Amino acid sequence: MSNTHIRTGEALSAVSVLLLLVGLLALWRYDHSLKEWQHADRIRHNAAALGAKVERWPDLEDRYFEDLEPLLVDVSEKVEQTHSTEPANRILYKGLADAKGRSSQRWLDEQWEQPVAKLIVDVPEMQPVLRQALGSVKYTEEKMYGDLSVSLQAALRDESVLKLKQSPEIGNVLRMKVAEKRSEFLPRVRDIAEPLRQELKTVLDMTDADLLDGGERVRVLAPLK
What pLDDT score was predicted for residue 193? 93
E strand spans, 62-212: none
Residue 131 identity: R
| Three-state DSSP state, 169 | helix
User: Which residues lie below 8 Å from residue 194, measured CB to CB, with a gap of 6+?
Assistant: none
Tens-place pLDDT, residues 82-113: 999 999 999 999 999 999 999 999 988 888 87
| pTM across the whole model | 0.78
Residue 111 has what DSSP assignment? -
Q: b vs e for 170-207, b when ≥16 Cβ sit within 10 Å of the residue's Cβ?
A: bbebbbebbeebbeebbebbeebbeebbebbebbeebe
Give the integer Cα–Cα distance in Å for 126 and 110: 20
| Three-state DSSP state, 51 | helix
What pLDDT score was predicted for residue 119? 84
Tens-place pLDDT, residues 11-45: 556 555 555 555 555 554 544 454 555 778 888 88
